[in-house]
Amino acid sequence: MTFDLSQAQAVIVLAWRHLSCGRPQEASILFDLLVKLMPASSELRLALASAQLGCGRPADAAATLSVLESSHDPVAHFLRGRALARMGHMDDARMAFNKYRECRKALP
């Protein structure tokens, strides 16, 4: 399946709408499709992980975020910390939250 730019933007808007309206399952399906179509987009990966957390799927969220583990984006580390904490991996979650704080301090 391929989308042109305007179609992709429409799907992105719809996915965000689902997520913001408390429908993480629908958002997760759309963001998963978008990540497959645009795997280099860290923003879409973050959105997918957020939707997966909203669906109660922390292991999927952690897997989605594993690509961004070396990122300097604080949101990636915050979401990863949440996912790990929900899975009961408290030491790893603590390290992810520490990385989140380090990245936040480095922001201008």
CA-derived radius of gyration, the chain: 14
Looking at the predicted structure, is the pLDDT value of residue 2 above 80? Answer: no
Instruction: Give CA–CA dist 29/69, Å, rounded.
Output: 23
Query: How do residues 63-75 score in pLDDT, each as one tens digit?
Result: 999 999 999 999 9
Q: Which of the four pLDDT bands, split at 50, 70 and 90, describes residue 1?
A: low
Which one-letter amino acid corresponds to residue 32? D
The 10 Å Cβ neighbour count of residue 63 is 13
Query: How do residues 62-107 score in pLDDT, each as one tens digit?
Result: 999 999 999 999 999 999 999 999 999 999 999 999 999 999 999 9
